[in-house]
Amino acid sequence: MMEKTPANFMDGATPAALLAAVRSERPLIHHITNSVTINDCANITICAGAAPVMAEAPEEVAAMVAAAGALVLNIGTLSRGQVDAMLLAGRRANDLGIPVVLDPVGAGATEFRTATVRRLLDNLDIAILKGNAGEIGVLAGTGGSVRGVDSGGVAGDPVETARTCARLTGTVVSMTGAVDVVTDGGRVYLVRNGNPMMDRLSGTGCMATSVTAAFAAVADDYAVASAAALAAFGRAGERAAAGGVAGPYTFRTALFDELAGLTPDDLAGHARIEER
């Protein structure tokens, strides 16, 4: 028998319904993303139940995004040409009401990265800003440290950091960590799914962004969609680690398999999304 959901936790039926919708609708997720993790992002999108396309040529991004359910902008391997393509695609997505998910990889590590994120935030309507604690702390102006593309953490309370960033940027902020924090500046969701093995792989943050975009493509409430996506991805990580993997790379394979095999019923029973 399924245990009753505690009063301060989201009903598991909500993330389960969104997972089922992704599988049913199979939205196209247009990525302009980084070359290090592009294949992992494509495959995790498929495992979530959506369809990926990786297109960044300025000549086609506006046409491609018009067919998509969501747009991912990931600055992991940044160039000026890529930024131009992001702006073209983002403006077209905004015109069509397609959610844009921005992953500010390494914001705070260099002036170019930080300025690029601010430029994208200033010029586009970003639905979801999905970053690690260091990146969100930098963008919130509350203190955050980043080394390369890795988070060094935040100076203060993570929940208040995320809230401040959401209010400053006007976006839903999805801040990943040992406990993920999702907020629209008012509501807060703490996602307690996941496994420490997920931090031992390059690209899990980028993959979480792709899953978030898949859920956003079938949702009206981007805060709820973000929390549900992180719960699903985290639950896949829990299941992968429980399978007795030998190390990071066998865990990586198991992570894809477990997300592909994750059922709405499993997510309904195991999503741990605390509402504040």
- Residue 138 is assigned to a structural domain of this protein: yes
Confidence (pLDDT) at 109: 85
Which parts of the chain fold into alpha helices (H)?
A: 13-25, 38-48, 61-65, 80-96, 111-123, 133-140, 158-169, 204-216, 222-242, 248-261, 264-270
- Residue 74 is assigned to a structural domain of this protein: yes
- Residue 18's CB is within 10 A of a number of other CB atoms, namely 26
DSSP H or E run through 180: strand 180-183
Q: Cα(214)–Cα(51) distance, rounded to whole angstroms?
A: 8
| Per-residue DSSP letter, 58 | T
C-alpha torsion sign, points 188, 192, 196, 199:
negative
- Three-state DSSP class for residue 191: strand
Confidence (pLDDT) at 146: 52
- Residue 1 is assigned to a structural domain of this protein: no
Host domain of residue 145 = 13-192+200-275
User: Of 45, 54, 86, whose CA–CA distance to 217 is shortest?
Assistant: 45
Report the mean per-residue pLDDT for the chain: 93
How many domains in the chain?
1
- Residue 4 is assigned to a structural domain of this protein: no
- Residue 47 is assigned to a structural domain of this protein: yes
Q: What is the CATH number of the domain that holds 86?
A: 3.40.1190.20
The answer to whether 192 touches 269, Cβ cutoff 8 Å, is: no
**Model pLDDT for residues 78-105, shown as the tens digit of each residue:** 999 999 999 999 999 999 999 999 999 9
- Residue 5 is assigned to a structural domain of this protein: no
DSSP H or E run through 101: strand 100-103
Confidence (pLDDT) at 154: 59
- Residue 2 is assigned to a structural domain of this protein: no
**Model pLDDT for residues 40-80, shown as the tens digit of each residue:** 999 999 999 999 999 999 999 999 999 999 999 999 999 99
- Residue 103 is assigned to a structural domain of this protein: yes
**Model pLDDT for residues 220-231, shown as the tens digit of each residue:** 999 999 999 999
Q: Cα(29)–Cα(50) distance, rounded to whole angstroms?
A: 7
